Amino acid sequence: MHCDRKSPHLLHLASQSPRRRAMVDWLGVPAVTTQVDIDEAPLPGEAPRALAIRLAREKTLAATAAVEGLVLTADTVVDLDGAALGKPADADEARRMLRDLRALPHQVHTGVALALPGGEILVRCVTTDVLMRPYSDAEIDAYIATGDPMDKAGAYAIQHPGFHPVDHVDVCYANVVGLPLCAVVSLLAEAGWTIAVDVHATTRALCRKHFGYACPRIDVGAEECAP
């Protein structure tokens, strides 16, 4: 995948998440990271999926005020029966979230936004159904002691090698990690990047290589969210 632009810094990733940065690197996209700070609290009555889309857009707007060029942002929200679970404020909140999620299904929504130099913002949103395993209170406490839950929506990382909180995901594993790769590639293609490989095969191969996950579909992330 490449772009005809000559700048070595072709894409600004407005995220300090090392996971998202690594996943962009897997795609071979030249990128630099920039930090944005916005209020991530949901609006009154705002649905979790709408929250993920809005925050992705707002992060993009905040980043484009400081940098020029293509800007990519993402926001992930855990949706438990219509309630949005963001990052826990402390260990007690992380413990409550993990107990609430235990052995139950929920959804993970990731809004992904790409700002073009002319001001247009392209958006995708991917939703994954997730079933958690029946982990114990002792496992929760041990996981919290690692510090890993504190910067994660819903207080968990699906890919954590010790905790392994998830029993099953429906379709997009990368989405639960925080960046649906197919959605990113779809946005970049719409923005005019030249893609010289079979994108879906490539992103599926990346998920298999890095997560050990065999994606059952090739069109993850193709849904376009309304403005």
Model confidence pLDDT, tens digit, residues 7-21: 434 799 999 889 999
pLDDT category, 195, cuts 50, 70, 90? low
Can you say whether residue 210 is alpha, beta or left, with left for phi > 0 and alpha for psi between -120 and 50 degrees? alpha
Domain architecture of the chain: domains with CATH: 11-87+107-128+177-211 (3.90.950.10)
In whole angstroms, give the CA distance from residue 130 to residue 172: 10
Tell me what pLDDT residue 69 has. 85
Q: How many CA atoms lie within 13 A of 23 on its CB side?
A: 28
In terms of phi and psi (left: phi > 0; alpha: psi -120 to 50; beta: otherwise), the region of 155 is: left
| CA–CA separation, 149 and 125 (whole Å) | 23
- Nearest alpha-carbon partner for 98 in 146, 127, 139: 139
pLDDT at 203: 86
Give the pLDDT band (50/70/90) at residue 29: confident
Query: What positions carry a catalytic annotation?
Result: 75
Q: Is the pLDDT of residue 216 over 70?
A: yes
Average pLDDT across the chain, whole number: 88
Q: How confident is the model at residue 78 (pLDDT cuts 50, 70, 90)?
A: very high
Provide the pLDDT for residue 80: 98
Query: Averaged over 112-140, what is the pLDDT?
Result: 95
Strand partners, 224: 124
The reported pLDDT for the residue numbered 200 is 65
Q: Is 14 helix (H, G, I), strand (E, B) or coil?
A: coil
- Whether residue 131 contacts residue 90, with contact meaning beta carbons closer than 8 Å, is answered with no
Is the pTM above the cut of 0.85? yes
